[in-house]
Structure 1
Amino acid sequence: MKVDSENHSLLGHLKSDRRYLAMLGLGFSAGIPYLLVYPTQSAWLSDAQVPIQTIGLMSELTIAYKLKFIWAPFLDKYDAPFFSAWLGRRRGWIVLSQIAVMASLIGVAFGDPANFLGYTVAFSLALGVAGATQDVTIDGWRITSVPVAKQSVMTAICEMGYRFGNLAAGAGALLLAERYGWPIAYGFMASLMLIGAVSAFIAPEPESDYTASRQHPGFVATVFAPIKEMVVRLGPLALPIFLMIAGFRLPGYISSAMAIPLFKSLNYSNADIATVTKLFGFGIALAATFSSAFIIRKIGLMPSLLLGTVAGSASHLSLAWLASQGGGDFWSFAVSVSIEGFAYAFAQVVLINYMSSITTTELAASQYALLTSLCAFPGSILAGSSGFIIAHTGFPMFFVFTSLIGIPVALLCWYVLRLHADVTPDPERHGSGPAKQTS
C-alpha cells in the first residue's frame, strides 16, 4: 500500500490518526510527576533548609516507580471505579490515575517542608504511587492501541510528549518557583495534567478493551500470571532476555548518578549545566527519539537494540574524555554531554520498543511494568556505590568503567540476535502481544 509522503512527517502522523495526537498529550502528562516527587522537589527542600541527609533519603520516595509491577496486574484484570464503565478499562484507569496525580500535587503545594516535613513526605509518596500507576496505564494503552508495525512511531511520539512534560516539571517548575514560589509552581503543574486528561478522552478505546476478561482471579494468580505467561512463551530465551533487560540501562544509571558532580568538579556554572543538560539536552533527546524510529524501520528492532547497547555504553567515554581534560571551554562540555545524551536517549527508545514487543495484549500493562522495574532495579541499587568508586579511581576511570559494563550486555544482545534475528509484526494482531520471530 502506497503511503502519502506527508504521513512520514510528524505532522502527517498527528493529522492522520487521533491515536498519535492522544499519545502526544498522554506522554506529556506521563513526564510530569516523577521529577516533582524528588529531583525538582529537592530544590524546594534545599530552599527550606532541610538537612542534606534527609534530602538524600527523600529520593527513596520514587520507589513506587520500581515496584509498580506489583499492582500493575490488577490494572489489566480489574476495571477502574466509574470511569472504566464510561471510557473502557485502560482509559478509565488513565483518567483515575491522573486525578490522583493532580490531587497529590495540590497536596504537596499546600505543604511546608521546613516545619512539617511529614506532610510533604506523605503527599510525595502518594504522588509517586499515582504517577507510577499513570505510567502503567498509559503504557498499556500505547501497546494495545496500535499494531506492532506502528509501535516505533507511537513510542517516538510518546517520548516526545514525555520530554516536553519533563521540561515543564524541571525547568518550568524551577522558573515558576523562582518567581512565584513553590506552592504556585506545584499548583500550576497540577493544572498541566489536564492536557493528559483531555487526551485520554479523545483517545480511541483499544480493541482489546471490548473483549477484556471480567474474571477476577485471586491475588497470587493475578500477580504471577503475567510472569508465568511471559516465561513460558519466551522459552529458553527468557533468561538471557531478562538478563539483557536488567543490564541494559545499568551503565547509564551508574554514570548519571555522578554526571552533575563531575560537571561541578570541573567548575562549570549552574547556568552552563542548565543550558547544556536542559536546553541542549531537550533538543538532542528529541533528535535521538525520531532517529531511533527511522533506524528501527530500516534495520529492524533487534539490530537497533544491539546498536543502542553499544552506543549507549561507549558514549560514556565522552565524559571520561571531558574529565581527563580537567574542564575546558563551554563547547567541549556541550559536545561531550550531547554525545552521551543522544546515545542514551536513542538506546532508551529502542529498549522501550523492544520491551513493548515482547508483551502480550491482554497482559500488556503488567508485563511492561515488570520489564521496566527489572530494568531499573540493578542500576538504582548499584548507583549508590558510584561515589565510593570515584574516591578510589577518579572521574576518568569511573566513566571508562561504566562503558565496560556494557560489554556483557552487548554480548547477551548479540546472542539473542543470533537466535532470533528480528521481532516482526503479526498482521493479525491489533496490539503488541507475543510477536512472531524469525530465525
Structure 2
Amino acid sequence: MTQFSTAAPRNWFQTLAELRDRRVLTMLLLGFSAGVPLLLIFSSLSLWLREAGIERQAVTFFSWAALGYSFKFVWAPLIDTLPLPWLTRWLGRRRAWLLVSQLTIITAIVLMALIDPASGGDSLTRLALAAVLLGFASATQDIVIDAYRIESAPPRLQALMSSTYIAGYRVAMVTAGAGALMLASAFGSEPEHYRYTAWSLTYLIMAAVMLIGVLTTLSIREPVTQRPPPATHSTRDYLRLVLTFALMASTFVSSFFWSGPLFTALKFALGGGALGAFILETGRLALALSIAALVGWLLVQLGALNRTLARTVWIDPVRDFFTRYGLQTALLLLALIGLYRISDIVLGVIANVFYQDIGFSKPQIATAVKTFGVLISIVGGLLGGLLADRYGVVRLLMLGAILAAATNLIFVLLAQIGADVRLLYLAVGADNLAAGLASAAFVAFLSSLTNVSFTAVQYAIFSSLMTLLPKVLGGYSGRLVEGLGYPGFFVLTTLLGLPVIALVWLAGQRLAIADERGGSLRK
C-alpha cells in the first residue's frame, strides 16, 4: 500500500506528535540555508538592477542565472558517485558535499557584492557570472539536501519534513527578500537615488547569514541508508568522470552561445514575437543539451570513460524510473512534474517589477510581499504538510493546482485598479497560501517517486524538470507584458495552469490503479 492510496487517514495526535521528530526539525534549518540564495538571484537582484538603471528586459533575463536549478540533474550523478578527498571520510558523503556547496554560495554572494552593475564596462557580465556561480552552488546544495531528506526518514515523515523544509525556506525568503530590501533602504539606496554601497553591504550581510547553514551541516548526523554500497572505482576513473562532465558542460555552454546569431536571425524572421522567441529559445536549449550528450556518448565509445561507471551514473537512474512505472505512466508523471509550477513561477519572475510599476513603494513591497506573503506561505506549507499526512498527497496536489490557477486572477484586478494596498494583501495572501499548500504536497510526491538506490539523481531530475520550462518562459515575461499588458499576462498565467488540473487527475487515477495491483511508489 502506498501513501497515495485510500487507506484510513492518520489521526491528528499522531500527525502533530511527529512534528517534534529531530529529523523534521533539522529540515527547518536546512530549508533556511536553501532559501537564502534564491531571492538574491531573483527579486532582490531585480530591484537592485532596476535601481541601478538597468532596463526591464535585461533585468528579467537575469532570472536565467538560476537555470542551474533546472539542469542540476546533469551533475547530480557526480554528487551521488564522487567522494570528496578527506571531507567524505570526516563528514560522510552527504554532509561533505553540503559543506562545499555552502562555502561556494558564500563566495558567490561576496563576489556579487563587490560588483556595481551601474559602473559600465563589463560589470553586468561579471555580475551575471557571479550570479550563475551562485545558482550553480545553490542548486548543488539543493541536490544534497533533497537526498539527505529522503534518505534520513521513511516515507510517512516526508510530507511533514517537506512542510518544515518549506517553512525554513520561506523564513529565509523573508530574510533575503524583505530583509535585503529593508537593509538596502536603510543604507540609503532608493529608486530615485541609487547607492551601490548600500546593496554591497546588504549582500555581504546575506553571505554572513549563510553561516547558519554551515553550522547546521557540521552538527547533524549523516543519514544511514539501506542502499547497496556503490561500486569501487579507481581515482583515475573518477577523475575521467569529472573531466568528461566538464567537457560536456563546456560543450553545452559553447553550443548555446555559438548558436545565438542563428537563432537571433530566426527570431527576426518570425517577427520577434514573445511566443516565437520562447519556442526558439527552448529549441536552442534542447540543441545545446543534445550536442553535449552526444559528446559524452562519443567519449564513452572511445574509451575515455569507464563504461560501467558511465552507465551507473547516467543511464541506470533513468532506466529504473521507466522500468518501475512503465512508459505511459512515467511520461504522464514527467509531464505533471514539468508543468505543475508553471503558473506561479512565470508570474513570480516579474511580480516585483509589476508592484513597482503600478506605484507601490519598496517598503510596501517588502512588508506586503516579502513579509506578510512569506508568513502566509509558511502557514500554507505547514497546513499542507499536516493535510497531506492525514488525507493524502494527491488530494492536496489537486487543491494546489486549482488554487494556483485561480489566485492569479486577483492580479488581473490589481493591475486594473492600481496601487490599492488592501487588494495587494489579498492577492499576495491568496497566492502564497495556495503555493504553500501545493509545495508541501508536491515535494512529498516527488520524494516518493524516487528509488533509494538513486536518490540524488532521480530527485534532481524531477526537481529540475519542475522548473525548466517555467523558468525559460519566465525569462520572456518582460516581453510578454510589453505585448499583452499586465492584465493579459496574468490571464495567460491562469490559463497555463488549467492543463495541470487534468494531469493531476490522470496521475491520481494511474497511481490508484498501480496501488490496487500491489505496486509501490517507493522501493
Q: TM-score normalised by the shorter chain: which range applies?
A: 0.7 to 0.9
Aligned match for 2:335, one of 230, 233, 243: 243
Where does residue 46 of structure 2 map in the other structure?
42
Note closer, same or farther for the CA distance 1:419–1:163 as it changes in structure 2 (3 Å cut).
Answer: same
Secondary structure, in 3 states, of the residue corresponding to 1:70? coil
Displacement of 1:36 in angstroms is 2.0
Report the Cα distance in structure 2 between the residues aligned to 1:328 and 1:415, rounded to whole angstroms. 40
Displacement of 1:401 in angstroms is 3.3
Report the Cα distance in structure 1 between the residues aligned to 2:395 and 2:12, rounded to whole angstroms. 26
Where does residue 136 of structure 1 map in the other structure?
143
Residue identity opposite 1:202 in structure 2: S
Count of aligned pairs? 422
Q: Does 1:204 align with 2:221?
A: yes
Q: Does 1:32 align with 2:36?
A: yes
Residue identity opposite 1:403 in structure 2: T
Report the Cα distance in structure 1 between the residues aligned to 2:317 and 2:382, rounded to whole angstroms. 31
TM superposition score normalised by structure 2: 0.73
- Give deviations 1:408-434, integer Å, cap 9, x for gaps: 22112111212223998xxxxxxxx94
Note closer, same or farther for the CA distance 1:257–1:199 as it changes in structure 2 (3 Å cut).
Answer: closer
Q: Is the 8 A contact 1:40 1:170 kept in 2?
A: yes
Displacement of 1:120 in angstroms is 3.2
Aligned match for 1:375, one of 454, 459, 466: 466
Q: Does 1:147 align with 2:154?
A: yes
Q: Is the 8 A contact 1:226 1:366 kept in 2?
A: yes
Q: Does 1:106 align with 2:110?
A: yes
Displacement of 1:45 in angstroms is 3.6
Secondary structure, in 3 states, of the residue corresponding to 2:210? helix
Report the Cα distance in structure 2 between the residues aligned to 1:137 and 1:209, rounded to whole angstroms. 17
Greater mean deviation of Cα atoms: 138-147 or 174-183: 174-183
Where does residue 429 of structure 1 map in the other structure?
none
Displacement of 1:72 in angstroms is 0.5
Displacement of 1:211 in angstroms is 5.3
Matches within 5 A, 1:334-349: 334-349=425-440
Secondary structure, in 3 states, of the residue corresponding to 1:208? coil
Greater mean deviation of Cα atoms: 48-57 or 371-380: 48-57
Q: Does 1:435 align with 2:519?
A: no
Matches within 5 A, 1:36-185: 36-50=40-54, 54-113=58-117, 114=119, 117=123, 118-180=125-187, 181-185=198-202
Where does residue 204 of structure 2 map in the other structure?
187
Where does residue 430 of structure 1 map in the other structure?
none
Report the Cα distance in structure 2 between the residues aligned to 1:361 and 1:176, rounded to whole angstroms. 43
Aligned match for 2:367, one of 275, 287, 293: 275
* Structure of larger gyration radius: 2
Displacement of 1:69 in angstroms is 0.9
Q: Is the 8 A contact 1:22 1:200 kept in 2?
A: no
Residue identity opposite 1:80 in structure 2: L
Report the Cα distance in structure 1 between the residues aligned to 2:359 and 2:113, rounded to whole angstroms. 34
- Give deviations 1:353-395, integer Å, cap 9, x for gaps: 1111101112111111111111111112223454555556544
Q: Is the 8 A contact 2:381 2:437 kept in 1?
A: yes
Report the Cα distance in structure 2 between the residues aligned to 1:313 and 1:46, rounded to whole angstroms. 29
Where does residue 286 of structure 2 map in the other structure?
none
Report the Cα distance in structure 2 between the residues aligned to 1:284 and 1:423, rounded to whole angstroms. 36
Residue identity opposite 2:136 in structure 1: V
Displacement of 1:222 in angstroms is 1.2
Aligned match for 1:311, one of 388, 399, 403: 403
Secondary structure, in 3 states, of the residue corresponding to 1:341? helix
Where does residue 27 of structure 2 map in the other structure?
23
Note closer, same or farther for the CA distance 1:5–1:234 as it changes in structure 2 (3 Å cut).
Answer: closer
- Give deviations 1:11-48, integer Å, cap 9, x for gaps: x656x433233222111111112222343233444454
Note closer, same or farther for the CA distance 1:407–1:299 as it changes in structure 2 (3 Å cut).
Answer: same
Where does residue 322 of structure 1 map in the other structure?
414
Q: Is the 8 A contact 1:302 1:422 kept in 2?
A: no
Note closer, same or farther for the CA distance 1:210–1:256 as it changes in structure 2 (3 Å cut).
Answer: closer
Residue identity opposite 1:269 in structure 2: S
Where does residue 428 of structure 1 map in the other structure?
none
Where does residue 427 of structure 1 map in the other structure?
none
Report the Cα distance in structure 2 between the residues aligned to 1:402 and 1:48, rounded to whole angstroms. 29
Aligned match for 1:406, one of 497, 505, 508: 497
Q: Is the 8 A contact 1:88 1:209 kept in 2?
A: no
Report the Cα distance in structure 1 between the residues aligned to 2:415 and 2:50, rounded to whole angstroms. 27
Note closer, same or farther for the CA distance 1:7–1:174 as it changes in structure 2 (3 Å cut).
Answer: farther
Displacement of 1:94 in angstroms is 0.6
Note closer, same or farther for the CA distance 1:59–1:398 as it changes in structure 2 (3 Å cut).
Answer: closer
- Give deviations 1:221-278, integer Å, cap 9, x for gaps: 4123222211211213101111111111112223334434544454333333332211
Q: Is the 8 A contact 1:90 1:209 kept in 2?
A: no
Report the Cα distance in structure 2 between the residues aligned to 1:122 and 1:256, rounded to whole angstroms. 22
